[in-house]
Chains A and B, each alone.
Chain A
């Protein structure tokens, strides 16, 4: 995807992280956006409001709240659109109900959450990374979900394309977590040539309507999804349902349904797991970071290497399903691991769960609305 080879159609722009999200979404084929203004995600809605009406089928709508926004996005996705919304902390909390609905009805959509300092209204213009566990477990009930993150502006574009691809491929909502720093950083980015870009769109049924089963358990665990009004009349419900979509509470049917929801994500784990390994080869100490803190860590690694310390960096771009194998590999390899993050320890919790005595897991937490600096990480590294 990060196609660095010279192509005619690629262009360079100087853009905000939020604007790069829009570029990525449009490249991925997004033609529906519903949202509600909230700092620091608003630039995504504003840019969409300008761009979408200029597309042949593009639709932008500002809804009355975040609940309504995600409702409209799900509706549009059921009607065959590639749809997304963007929000921040308080709006993300309101959206939880419909994230669950999208999970159980297997509706593809992309939700961008630009994390700001919380809880509640918190600090609207300051960054944080404290919605990580909410993204995983925020909506009630057992459900699988894909959570991605991005740390620089080019990544904002690339991960938005990836988010759409995963959503369409696995019929699942995908949450892209940004932070205020990443969303409000301007950088030069390359918009790739659409011709060479890998774009996935949901499978449409090929069988006649009377044979179609909307929630069939097949090899992939993902069934074809026709748009509403295309002749395949089926029932969509937030109740647990059988292969036909009709409500059921028979233990056997419910069990196999929920198991399939998990299986469809779990069995493609290696496709979904995206990480960057930076100087990890010979590292005896490893930093595990994501989002804007990943960039601080990158400079910290450089500074530590200049002092002769063998430090590596594992940058997580997929947060959930948690990239366990690669984290486990680093835990086996290194005598200690440092997890810096702008929360009280939400990913370090996952790292510790995987660790199981393999290595020493140190944490570095900051919750004052300020980014963790390379200097702080270096200091913590040298202290051990």
Chain B
């Protein structure tokens, strides 16, 4: 598929626990897609009163034309970094939509068709468990044919504080490479949006 593929309301939900960096992940992805890829993007969020723990989610709507309704309607892609999130939001996935799970956090998936990587374990191996969101970002950059790694890295650098850039670039590359190795043909599977 072409790198500049036209999208009509491609809807993504990033979900997990508070403190996993879900909102930051959405912000980096959204900024890369909006400013560097030139898509129209709305990123919305929902969170509980807890700063750590509790449910957290960030939704993205990506389109080639201006977006009216900013929230998601039915998901093309659900990313679940916790069992609770996976159970809760799986039903919002449209028929043919993709599920990406963190296999170190999600013990059982509601379907056998999913893209799974031990994202949190990978982050732990890198040396900072808080980079699980950026490992996820790396994997998603491989999975989604319309995302360019160079642009995402640029967005990453502009949003995160310079002190922690190096380890996060490492996390991004780890996620990207692992996804490429495990699921080399994943980007080809997107037939419609």
Q: Give the chain B neighbours of A112 by CB distance below 8 A.
A: none
The segment from B30-38, B80-88, B111-119, B132-140 found at the interface with A is: B30-38
Would A187 and B49 count as touching, CB distance under 8 A?
no
Task: Encode contact with A along B28-72: 1 for CB under 8 Å, 0 otherwise.
Answer: 001100110000111111111100000000000000000111110
Chain A residue nearest to B58 (CB atoms) is A186
Would B71 and A375 count as touching, CB distance under 8 A?
no
Q: Which of B26, B31, B35, B73 meets A374, CB within 8 Å? A: B73
The segment from A52-60, A100-108, A290-298 found at the interface with B is: A290-298
Would A14 and B41 count as touching, CB distance under 8 A?
yes
Would A125 and B49 count as touching, CB distance under 8 A?
yes
Q: Give the chain B neighbours of A302 by CB distance below 8 A.
A: 68
Within 187-203 of A, Cβ neighbours of B (below 8 Å) are at 187-188
Q: Which of A181, A188, A295, A299 meets B35, CB within 8 Å? A: A188
Q: Which of B40, B44, B67 meets A184, CB within 8 Å? A: B44
Q: What is the minimal beta-carbon distance from A174 to any residue of chain B, in angstroms?
A: 25
Q: What is the minimal beta-carbon distance from A13 to any residue of chain B, in angstroms?
A: 8
Would B41 and A375 count as touching, CB distance under 8 A?
no
Q: How far is the CA of A160 from the CA of B4 in the complex (A)?
A: 35
With contact pairs A14-B30, A14-B34 given, residues A184 and B45 touching in the complex (Cβ less than 8 Å) = yes
Chain B residue nearest to A184 (CB atoms) is B45
Q: Give the chain B neighbours of A14 by CB distance below 8 A.
A: 27, 30-31, 34-35, 41, 43
Q: Give the chain B neighbours of A373 by CB distance below 8 A.
A: 69, 71, 73
Q: Give the chain B neighbours of A13 by CB distance below 8 A.
A: 35
Would B41 and A298 count as touching, CB distance under 8 A?
no
Residue A131 CB within 8 A of the other chain = no
Task: Encode contact with B along A274-315: 1 for CB under 8 Å, 0 otherwise.
Answer: 000000000000000000100110110010000000000000
Q: Which of B47, B49, B67, B71 has the most CB of A within 10 A?
A: B71
Would A295 and B41 count as touching, CB distance under 8 A?
no
Q: Give the chain B neighbours of A31 by CB distance below 8 A.
A: none
Chain B residue nearest to A301 (CB atoms) is B68
Residue A371 CB within 8 A of the other chain = yes
Q: How far is the CA of A185 from the CA of B68 in the complex (A)?
A: 12
With contact pairs A14-B31, A296-B69 given, residues A188 and B40 touching in the complex (Cβ less than 8 Å) = yes
Q: Which of A186, A295, A371 has the most CB of B within 10 A?
A: A186
Task: Encode contact with B along A353-377: 1 for CB under 8 Å, 0 otherwise.
Answer: 0000000000000000001011100
What would 16 more interface pairs be, CB under 8 Å, given A14-B27, A188-B40?
Answer: A14-B31, A14-B41, A125-B48, A181-B44, A185-B70, A186-B31, A186-B41, A186-B44, A187-B41, A187-B42, A188-B41, A295-B68, A295-B70, A298-B69, A371-B71, A374-B68
Would B42 and A124 count as touching, CB distance under 8 A?
no
Q: What is the minimal beta-carbon distance from A102 to any residue of chain B, in angstroms?
A: 32
Q: What is the minimal beta-carbon distance from B49 to any residue of chain A, in angstroms?
A: 7
Within 109-146 of A, Cβ neighbours of B (below 8 Å) are at 124-125
With contact pairs A124-B49, A125-B48 given, residues A187 and B69 touching in the complex (Cβ less than 8 Å) = no
